[in-house]
Amino acid sequence: MRDINIYNTLTKKVDKFVPNEPGKIKMYTCGPTVYHFAHIGNLRSYIEEDILEKYLRYAGYDVKRVMNITDVGHLTSDADSGEDKMLKGAKREHKTVMEIAKFYRDAFFSDCEKLNIKTPDVVEPATNCIPEFIHMIEKLLDDGYAYVAGGNVYFDTSKLKEYYVLSNQNEEELQVGVRDDVEEDDNKKNKTDFVLWFTKSKFDSQELKWESPWGVGYPGWHIECSCISMKHLGEQLDIHCGGVDNIFPHHTNEIAQSEAYTGHKWCNYWFHVQHLNDKTGKMSKSKGEFLTVSLLEEKGYNPLVYRMFCLQSHYRKPLLFSYDVMDNVKTAYEKLVKKTTSLSKEGDIDKDIFESCQDKFAQAMGNDLNTSQAITVLYDVLKADTNDATKRALVEDFDQVLSLDLLKEQETKAADDEIKVMVEGMIAKRNEARKAKDFAKADAIRDELLAKGIEIKDTREGTVWKLI
């Protein structure tokens, strides 16, 4: 197994990654709130988390990755105030909350597929886990870490030895969503307390509600990630991922409730991806029109050009989006694909060169996921004094992590050629059967092709075929 050093938001430094169990990694990702399309800023985080997971697997680790789907209880302020995002989406489109959730969940995974983002091993909607939420809240109440006030259940942050564990900023700088200018919740004992379960809220039209020991209501946003991770990964995580905007309050609150519940340290490493900015600042859905994968496609960009755009920068640096830069990356990507797909498979792989280049790639990726350096290693391979077979094998090896489809065009052409040879061979046999008046055999061949998704049609010019 190869070493990996990664910046840990918890320690505020680059740490050597050491899992709780040798060779195995429990990884959790904060998933989307499925009330609208994901913008490309959201998707930057998922691209970088995908790179992390794939490199960990490449390095020899057995990774189990879990992701939630927020389909209830996420408020627009990311605290305990504002408008419910799911309810807002349902009102906007005159649909039910669950209709909205399904549509945008499917859209999210469609975008992920276009960006070659692997679907996590477990994807769990929050609405599947209401019993788990209630159980955790009951224990937090029993242990004195929570209280009931005004019909809602709150986590009591004053019971913690330390609350702001993920940030080196002072409290005033961290008051996002709990500032004095935000509508105050008079039920809270402390300004930083947060809701675990709502029974009383300003959302009289809240669509999704469940029975609970505290009355009919719905869970707060923060509780879901703690419960879903424990449901599938146990009470100790190796690494938790998300965007920098998740650090406070969401991840801070996750740590608070999880460690109060378990009585021990919950997660060793925290991985956070910086914002994607445009000329107006941080990319956000609240601005109205926002950039999506579909919009990039409409403008003529392969979604993998955006993936490469992200990989040419470091995940811990803010990234400025512009179409001028995208055009440059598009040109570079197309040249790269042309170069890699022209590589011949013929010849023997030079083992020494292969291993040397592989080590350089691993050194770049193991150094806090330095993807830009890893891409430089890729270009060095293409310029190296070695045969095509070695270069091609290295491109294939690196692309397990980069996932830029650098050889797909070649593979697609090979697959198409293989299909063509197979179909034309079967059509020839069918023609022979028809000449011999063996119509039963001819029909059987036609049916066999149809079962393979190939439709044939007899014309004056001969038999033609198409994929269906």
What confidence score (pLDDT) does residue 287 get? 55
What confidence score (pLDDT) does residue 409 get? 65
What confidence score (pLDDT) does residue 461 get? 76
* pLDDT above 70 (res 174): no
Mean pLDDT of the chain: 89
- Higher-confidence position of 445 and 460: 445
Quickly list DSSP for 260-297.
Answer: HHHSS--EEEEEEEPPEEETTEE--GGGSS---HHHHH
Instruction: Please write the tens of the pLDDT for every residue from 288-328.
Output: 557 999 999 999 999 999 999 999 999 999 999 999 999 99
The total number of residues written for the chain in this structure: 468
Q: What's this model's pTM, rounded to 2 decimal places?
A: 0.84
Contacts of 123 (CB under 8 A, 6+ apart): 31, 66, 67, 68, 69
* pLDDT above 50 (res 383): yes
Instruction: Please write the tens of the pLDDT for every residue from 12-45.
Output: 999 999 999 999 999 999 999 888 899 999 999 9
Q: Convert 151-181 to b/e letters by CB count within 10 Å (16 or more is b).
A: ebbbbbbebbeebbebeeeeeeebbebbeee
Instruction: Please write the tens of the pLDDT for every residue from 116-147.
Output: 999 999 999 999 999 999 999 999 999 999 99
SS3 313: coil
Q: CA Rg, the chain, in Å?
A: 27
Contacts of 300 (CB under 8 A, 6+ apart): none
The average pLDDT across 353-370 equals: 98
Q: Convert 95-119 to b/e letters by CB count within 10 Å (16 or more is b).
A: eebbebbebbbebbbebbebbbbee
Residue type, 373: Q
